[in-house]
Amino acid sequence: MRAEDLFEAVGGIDDKLIARSDRRVRSSQEKPSSGKAAKRTKKRKSRRSVGAEIYRFTVVAMSTAVVVFLFLMARDLLGIRNLSDIRNRIASTQESSIAEPMQAEEAAAEQAEESAVMRAEEASEKAEASSDQRDSNEAEAEESSEVAENRAAGSFFGNKTAVDMLGDLKGDYVSLEIISVEDEANGGSRLVPEYTEEGEKALSEAFSKGKPTPKVFAATGEATYYVYLTKKNGEVHRAVFYENAYVSMDNIPGVVMKISQADYEEVKALFR
């Protein structure tokens, strides 16, 4: 076959292909010759401009979505900073938790002493009370000072709780309840864990070592425990503990906290 044969064969191309090629060339070069053609061109152009509008709109929408996504991601990152703030506050809470009980104990002791002195004075003023009665008064005074001490200690520990260690501010929450996912599904009741120093220490350490992670990157496993935290205003927040040691707060979207598996096991032991 020669190039001339091929060229001749190309001459057999369908009229429609030739016309199509011509049409495309003309539409970009020539002005429409008749009113009908002008209308057709106008229609084609408007169709093209509608397409351009759609394209422009799509681009704007997509870039807006990207900006919003980045903004949300940035917010998540800021959320990490907030959580580290909380961690700092937790640390300061720990410090104050050492100072505050001491103050409370001192106040309670003073109060008990005062009441004992008052009663002793009253007893001496009443003149000639029996030595048995005096003994019993002193015993009462001692007893009341003990009660006061206990009450003071009880109210402090009762308010403090391990809630603070769960990553929120001291005093924001007034109660903490725990329930396993299984129990909740079976309609079981929530438990209020007893405060223990070991518990506080375990939670404190677990959360101070925990790393906040954007939820999208965290492969959360199966939820094992729900921790319900009630605020002063009655609002209830739920923390979810996952078996792979992630903890998420329903009221802090997009962020989960990753604690070590060992810490998680220790914390889990507190819930039993």
Partner 1 sequence: MEDTAIIDLYWKRDEQAIVETDQKYGKYCHTVAYNVLNDVEDSRECVNDTWLRAWNSMPPKRPSVLRAFLAKITRNLAFDRYRARSAAKRGSGAMEAVLDELAECADMSGNWNAEEAYMAAELKEAINRFAEQLPARECDLFVRRYFFAEEIPAIARRYQMTENNVTVSLSRIRKKLRKYLKEGEFIE
12 in contact with partner 1 (CB under 8 A): yes
Q: How many residues bind partner 1 (CB under 8 A)?
A: 26
Amino acid at 113: E
15: phi then psi, degrees, rounded to nearest 5 = -55, -35
Secondary structure class of 150 (helix, strand, coil): helix
CA–CA distance, 42 with 32 (Å, rounded to integer): 10
Contacting range for partner 1; rule: CB under 8 A; set: 14-22, 143-151, 209-217, 258-266: 14-22
What are the contacts of 249-252 at 24+ separation with CB within 8 A?
A: 249/167, 252/79
DSSP type of residue 162: G
Q: Which of residues 182-211 bind partner 1 (CB under 8 A)?
A: none
CA–CA distance, 138 with 134 (Å, rounded to integer): 6
Identify which of residues 6 and 102 has a Cβ nearer to partner 1 in the complex.
6
Contacting range for partner 1; rule: CB under 8 A; set: 2-10, 47-55, 141-149, 260-268: 2-10
Identify which of residues 28 and 186 has a Cβ nearer to partner 1 in the complex.
28
Contacting range for partner 1; rule: CB under 8 A; set: 6-14, 101-109, 142-150, 263-271: 6-14
**Which tokens hold the place of 239?**
């923390």
| HSE-CB of 151 using CA atoms within 13 angstroms | 11
- Give the CA dihedral 147, 148, 154, 156, nearest 10 degrees: -170
| Least Cβ distance, residue 20 to partner 1 (angstroms) | 8
Q: Which residue has the tokens 């005062």?
A: 114
Q: Which of 14, 95, 125, 132 is close enough to bind partner 1 by CB under 8 A?
A: 14
Identify which of residues 26 and 268 has a Cβ nearer to partner 1 in the complex.
26
| Least Cβ distance, residue 53 to partner 1 (angstroms) | 22
| Least Cβ distance, residue 39 to partner 1 (angstroms) | 15
142 in contact with partner 1 (CB under 8 A): no
Contact pattern for partner 1 over residues 16 through 55, marking x by CB under 8 A: xxxxxxx-xx--xx--------------------------
147 in contact with partner 1 (CB under 8 A): no
CA–CA distance, 103 with 125 (Å, rounded to integer): 33
**Which tokens hold the place of 85?**
């703030």
8 in contact with partner 1 (CB under 8 A): yes
**Which tokens hold the place of 36?**
């009908």
Binding residues (CB under 8 A) for partner 1: these are: 1-22, 24-25, 28-29
